[in-house]
């Protein structure tokens, strides 16, 4: 219910703002909101040739293609004058994201189809893990900890192994693998959910822990920083780990208090201590490396772990081929069955993702997001917050809505202020310290047709705020 109303609020307020802007003269055309492409110039006015200043008129007539660009300033958008069919079209600024119709297309072509491919492959592997018995062994080994965090899950339940693989993939920055494992976990949890259209306690806990975004190797962030010319692209890795870890602990405590989990459980405390020890140990090892060593380690660890998972699955399946024969199938046929299930899951979640991304597209292109972000930055600046921090806030604000949108702000902030600036580094920490909340809600709950998400959305947004505040303190401390 909360998600539905929030979605309607974004949609209706964006449309209203677009229409008001058109009729008040603040916007010349709204075609770009429907048909425009990201980074295309925006038409802001149209005049007859004798209505433009003389020097522009003369420049247009002498310019190739009757097109001139003025105000060439790297810090600001250029203004372009195009003379065609007796009028001069004036373009200024660029579009923040794809329009409504291109978003519909790109959601299918650029997002859902690749996601279906990932789902097909990894769900095929999951089928092998299930039939071979590997997932059952993993669930049995981790049950003592998981039954404390998820008391409603039966001991040795298959969802435990799926959630473990999802957390591990997120931990290592393997987004393409994390989503299929997570969707499989949601499907497994849905099987023991007594109210099928309402999120269970276990599903909410899983979603909030997943969305807190605990990441050890922020491979993509390091890549963006390297491309932007950072002196040490990996210098934000430790702040990212600290921020995302605090976000994960916050999510666990908030949901745990709500669900009355026993935090004093010995197995739970032991599991937490083991995880902290592993993180600290790995950090000490990474910090002992030189710059080239760090770059080599961070760029290869995630890939090696993924190959290890795939290799283990295939070898374990081969060693337990008798189980496949007993199930009247083969290893390859089982993989195909799992892949087919992954394709069906991708088709199921498409409408949910489409609806959310179209609303976000309207929200950004309407100009409403920029107004809200500017006011928030203004309020923070009047509270004494430095400009270096307020300049990074758009990344934090857009991150819950759109990973691609916040990534665009991240790259822009590094290009504008420098990858080694406080703004560039803080933007990087914002980007890797949380998930795209609304996208995650749409995908995961949509995959199992849950309509009532209960307090999941509110908790995830609260964790986002905690991550933002933590990132500011950590960045100020380190840089």
Strand blocks (E) in 198-245: none
Give dist(CA 334, CA 339) in Å, integer: 9
Beta sheet of 79-84, edge-to-edge order: 41-48, 87-94, 79-84, 67-70
Task: Tell whether the model's pLDDT for residue 76 goes beyond 60.
Answer: no
Mean pLDDT over 411-430 rounds to 85
Task: Tell whether the model's pLDDT for residue 362 goes beyond 70.
Answer: yes
What are residue 440's phi and psi, to 5 degrees? Answer: -60, -45
**Band of residue 340 on the pLDDT scale cut at 50, 70, 90:** very high
Local structure of 23: helix, strand or coil? helix
Per cent of the chain over pLDDT 70 is: 92
CB neighbour burial string for 301-336, b if at least 16 within 10 angstroms, e if fewer: bbeebbeebeeebeeebeebeebbeeeebebeebbe
pLDDT digit string, tens, across residues 363-393:
888 888 888 878 887 787 777 778 888 888 8
**Band of residue 352 on the pLDDT scale cut at 50, 70, 90:** confident
CB neighbour burial string for 118-143, b if at least 16 within 10 angstroms, e if fewer: bbbbbbbbbbbbbbbebbbebbeebb
Task: Tell whether the model's pLDDT for residue 188 goes beyond 80.
Answer: yes
Give dist(CA 121, CA 274) in Å, integer: 31
Task: Tell whether the model's pLDDT for residue 412 goes beyond 70.
Answer: yes
Give dist(CA 467, CA 281) in Å, integer: 23
Q: What angle do CA 177, 180, 186 make, to 5 degrees?
A: 135
Mean pLDDT over 228-241 rounds to 80
**Cβ–Cβ < 8 Å for 120, 339:** yes
- Tell me, what DSSP letter sits at residue 50? G
Give dist(CA 107, CA 40) in Å, integer: 18
Most confident of 71-85, 275-289, 455-469: 455-469
Residue in 26, 464, 404 with CA at minimum distance from that of residue 208: 464
Residues in the chain: 479
Task: Tell whether the model's pLDDT for residue 251 goes beyond 60.
Answer: yes
Specify the range with the lowest mean pLDDT, choosing from 72-81, 160-169, 226-235, 465-474: 72-81
Residue in 407, 349, 337 with CA at minimum distance from that of residue 112: 349
Mean pLDDT over 405-411 rounds to 76
End-to-end CA distance of the chain: 42
CA-derived radius of gyration, the chain: 25
Task: Tell whether the model's pLDDT for residue 74 goes beyond 50.
Answer: no
Most confident of 96-105, 215-224, 401-410: 96-105
Specify the range with the lowest mean pLDDT, choosing from 113-122, 164-173, 198-207: 164-173
Task: Tell whether the model's pLDDT for residue 228 goes beyond 70.
Answer: yes
């Amino acid at each position: 219910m909360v998600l539905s109303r929030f979605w309607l609020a974004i949609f209706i307020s964006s449309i209203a703002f677009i229409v008001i802007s058109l009729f008040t003269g603040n916007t010349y055309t709204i075609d770009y909101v429907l048909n425009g492409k990201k980074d295309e110039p925006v038409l802001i006015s149209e005049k007859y040739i004798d209505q433009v200043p003389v020097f522009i008129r003369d420049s247009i007539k002498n310019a190739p293609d009757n097109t001139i660009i003025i105000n060439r300033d790297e810090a600001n958008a250029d203004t372009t004058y195009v003379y065609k069919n007796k009028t001069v079209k004036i373009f200024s600024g660029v579009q923040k994201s794809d329009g409504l119709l291109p978003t519909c297309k790109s959601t299918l072509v650029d997002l859902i189809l690749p996601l279906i491919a990932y789902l097909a492959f990894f769900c095929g592997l999951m089928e092998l893990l299930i039939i071979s018995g590997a997932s059952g062994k993993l669930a049995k080994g981790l049950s003592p900890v998981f039954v404390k965090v998820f008391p409603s899950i039966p001991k040795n339940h298959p969802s435990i192994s799926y959630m473990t693989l999802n957390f591990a993939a997120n931990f290592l920055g393997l987004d393409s693998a994390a989503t299929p494992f997570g969707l499989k976990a949601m499907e497994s949890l849905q099987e023991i959910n007594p109210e099928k259209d309402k999120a269970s306690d276990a599903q909410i806990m899983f979603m909030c822990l997943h969305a807190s975004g605990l990441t050890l190797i922020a491979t993509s962030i390091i890549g963006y920083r390297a491309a932007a010319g950072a002196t040490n692209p990996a210098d934000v890795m430790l702040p990212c780990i600290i921020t995302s870890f605090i976000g994960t602990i916050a999510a666990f405590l908030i949901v745990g208090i709500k669900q009355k989990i026993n935090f004093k459980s010995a197995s739970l405390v032991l599991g937490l201590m083991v995880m902290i020890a592993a993180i600290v140990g790995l950090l000490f090892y990474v910090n002992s490396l030189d710059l080239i060593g760090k770059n080599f380690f961070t760029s290869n660890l995630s890939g090696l772990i993924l190959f290890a998972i795939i290799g283990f699955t295939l070898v374990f399946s081969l060693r337990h081929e008798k189980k496949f024969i007993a199930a009247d199938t083969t290893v390859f046929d089982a993989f195909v069955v799992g892949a087919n299930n992954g394709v069906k899951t991708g088709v199921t979640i498409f409408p949910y993702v489409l609806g959310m991304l179209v609303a976000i597209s309207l929200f950004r292109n309407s100009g409403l997001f920029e107004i809200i972000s500017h006011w928030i930055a203004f309020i923070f600046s009047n509270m004494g917050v430095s400009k270096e921090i307020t300049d990074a806030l758009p990344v934090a604000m857009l991150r819950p809505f759109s990973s691609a949108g916040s990534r665009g702000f991240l790259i822009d902030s590094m290009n504008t202020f420098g990858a080694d600036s406080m703004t560039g580094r803080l933007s990087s920490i914002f980007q890797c310290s949380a998930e795209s909340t609304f996208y995650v809600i749409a995908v995961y709950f949509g995959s199992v047709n849950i309509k009532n998400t209960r307090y999941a959305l509110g908790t995830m947004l609260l964790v986002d705020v905690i991550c933002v505040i933590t990132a500011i303190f950590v960045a100020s401390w380190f840089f």
